[in-house]
Structure 1
Amino acid sequence: MPGRRATRAQRKRHEDAAGWLLRNREAGQPAAEQAAFRAWLDEAPENRRTYEVAEQLMGEARTAIASDPALADFEVKPSSATKPVLGMLLALAATGTLFIALDGPMRLRADAMSGTGEMPVFMLADGSTVQLNASSAVAYDYTTGRRTVRLLRGQAYFEVARDPTRVFTVEAGTTRVTALGTAFDVRLGDAETDVTVTHNAVQIAFEGAEQAPLRVTRGEQAVYDHSTGTKEIRPSDGVTALAWQRGQLVVDNAPLSHVVEEMNRHFPGRIVIANGELARRRVSGTLMISDTNAVLVYLEYALRVTTNRIGPLIVIR
């Protein structure tokens, strides 16, 4: 949910504290690094207080894991059916536990977050509004000459208030979106970043790219592929692109991995795909993505897959 606004210095301190917290959990930490940590603590009283908050957040995560029977008592008994994926499931259980614990650093970096299944709307200091998709996070930094929002995770829809003296920019990974009197949607996915314009236009630049920025107008969507660096502008229906605001996902020949990524925003555990070939299978349709059971039933029917539930995990095979 929306939190207090952090200054650039505070956010840097939060990130430093999170980094030290993780490094201090490693065995055999060098003496020089221990000394550097103590020097950082003594550098400013705020450093020590922020580190104590980070420790508290990590402790709360461990307590939550210990109190959840599905996580604390997770155990798999091998059988002929489960042996092929047993190692993967045990690894995923550990990864899921680690994911829960490491969300503490995200909470330190973000000014606003949404939980599983939450899609809050809030107003920024300049009157612009933001709606977060589930499991998303942003940080914002306003100065006298610029309004900058960083999409740290997930997806967000922006309606930008007019201010001729300050540009409005959204940073999502290596993608930088500048509003030109605009309403637009940004999705920072595992494989790609999507920018969909529903009003007026935006200008999109990419870190390290030599070519001129892209101009994307109403009814268009820009797609940036993280692995290949390719960029594409294609027509987009705003109603379809913003279906997530109604708890829906509209896909046309999308990989199963994309569908599962969106399902995980609304699922309190973790949904995984057993292998890469299955992850590349294609799906089309309008899915009530906020209803995990309904989507699983559809996938079982459409792709002839099976789903296995083990504690907080769902494995699609």
Structure 2
Amino acid sequence: MIRSEGFQKGWRERDVSDDVAGQAQAWVSLLLSGQATQADGRALSAWRGADERHEAAFRDAARLHGLARQAAGELRARETTALARPEPVAQSRRRFLVGGALAASVAGGAVLLGRAAMAPAGRAADFETAKGETRMVQLAPGVSAELNTLTRIARREDVGPRAFELLAGEALVSIDHDAAVSIFAGDGETTTSRARLSMRCLDGEVRVSCLEGAARVRSAGRIVDLPGRYSVTYDQASLAAPAPIDPIAEGAWRRGILVFRDERLGDVIEEINRYREGRIVIASASLRERRVNGTFQTNRIDQVVDQLRLAYGVSATALPGGVVLVA
């Protein structure tokens, strides 16, 4: 009986260890998916600090994910080399299906999660940019737009030949034409001609800044006339009054610069996450609420982590896939 109880106790201890390892793997998978929120970061920090075995399991899971991503990358490289050689269509299709499934399996689902995060939602985009990419596009005669990172635009030919919609992201729109242009974003519409506008549509909020000329903004059952060097914000429920723009910060991304003035660090990090591969997650609520001023170069965006260490003495844990946990 004693030997049997000891045997059962050993199995129970192993079950607990497996359970903790599974939780650690789930945490790392969530971070690598790019879908982790700041609340998730706080919950992870509490979980890691609750038991030293949690911390050890988390570090092991992060290391294993890094090896898995490396293996998946080597597998994709071999597939690319193989696909460069002619082979029967049926065999090529089988290689793609089996190899693709294996790569996703080895990477612990990170590849599939990344593709799902990049998949367009709602209206299909005619023009879009990837993370860290900018692009100049011609939307109609006399109408052009410079797209910032992670931006999607669709033509709205159902409305008119010069109508389009900013589905997500940020763009600098130039209209060198006397004919009216309709620009949809979120739950509103902006009409203008002979003007330059900076437009931003993120998380259900839209900001329209008139750099030159004038515009008219309609949303939430209201209409606002927007003069040059003024901006207006709106969402599904409200349309704010026009406010003067900051000429230095406005459109600074076109110069490869991000300018923040007395803003929450949490909001700053969310903006920075739009430019860097991976994701920075702040696990401390008080740290997220700190007001900061700063200027960052988008081509050196990872330096923000070092600046946080120097300015606030924070700790930063680097994980595979460019994920950094700050606490």
- Percent of matched pairs sharing the same residue: 26
Matches within 5 A, 1:61-100: 80=52, 83=55, 98-100=113-115
Tell me by how many angstroms 1:295 deviates. Answer: 1.8
Give the number of the structure whose alpha-carbon radius of gyration is greater.
2
Tell me by how many angstroms 1:148 deviates. Answer: 2.0
Matches within 5 A, 1:210-225: 210-211=221-222, 213-224=223-234
Q: Which runs of 5+ in 1 are unaligned?
A: 1-69
Tell me by how many angstroms 1:99 deviates. Answer: 4.8
What residue number does 2:243 align with? 234
RMSD (CA atoms): 3.4
What residue number does 1:189 align with? 202
What residue number does 1:162 align with? 177
125-134 or 303-312, which deviates more: 303-312
Distance in 2 (CA, whole Å) between partners of 1:297 and 1:140 is 41
| 8 Å CA contact 1:224, 1:232 repeated in 2 | no
| Amino acid in the other structure paired with 1:251 | F
Answer yes or no: is 1:273 the counterpart of 2:309.
Answer: no
| Higher helix proportion (structure 1 or 2) | 2
Tell me by how many angstroms 1:168 deviates. Answer: 1.2
Go from structure 1 to structure 2 and tell me whether the alpha carbon gap of 1:144 and 1:252 turns closer, same or farther (over 3 Å shift): closer
TM-score (norm 1): 0.63
Deviation by residue 1:215-238 (Cα, 9 ceiling, x = unmatched): 111111213367x74624221133
Q: Which runs of 5+ in 2 are unaligned?
A: 1-31, 34-43, 63-107
Go from structure 1 to structure 2 and tell me whether the alpha carbon gap of 1:281 and 1:130 turns closer, same or farther (over 3 Å shift): same
Go from structure 1 to structure 2 and tell me whether the alpha carbon gap of 1:145 and 1:291 turns closer, same or farther (over 3 Å shift): same
Distance in 2 (CA, whole Å) between partners of 1:82 and 1:157 is 47
SS in 2 for 1:296: helix
What residue number does 1:109 align with? 124
Tell me by how many angstroms 1:257 deviates. Answer: 2.6
Work out the number of aligned pairs and report it.
234
Deviation by residue 1:195-216 (Cα, 9 ceiling, x = unmatched): 111101111111xx233x1111
What residue number does 1:243 align with? 252
What residue number does 1:65 align with? none
| 8 Å CA contact 2:249, 2:259 repeated in 1 | yes
Distance in 2 (CA, whole Å) between partners of 1:183 and 1:133 is 15
| Amino acid in the other structure paired with 1:210 | G
| Amino acid in the other structure paired with 1:113 | E
Tell me by how many angstroms 1:275 deviates. Answer: 4.7
Distance in 2 (CA, whole Å) between partners of 1:257 and 1:95 is 25
TM-score (norm 2): 0.62
Distance in 1 (CA, whole Å) between partners of 2:293 and 2:121 is 33
Tell me by how many angstroms 1:176 deviates. Answer: 1.8
Answer yes or no: is 1:204 the counterpart of 2:217.
Answer: yes
What residue number does 1:305 align with? 314
| 8 Å CA contact 1:107, 1:113 repeated in 2 | no
| 8 Å CA contact 2:143, 2:162 repeated in 1 | no
Tell me by how many angstroms 1:85 deviates. Answer: 12
Deviation by residue 1:151-175 (Cα, 9 ceiling, x = unmatched): 11211110013142xx312222113
Q: Which structure has more RCO (C-alpha within 8 Å, separation ≥ 6)?
A: 2
Tell me by how many angstroms 1:248 deviates. Answer: 0.9
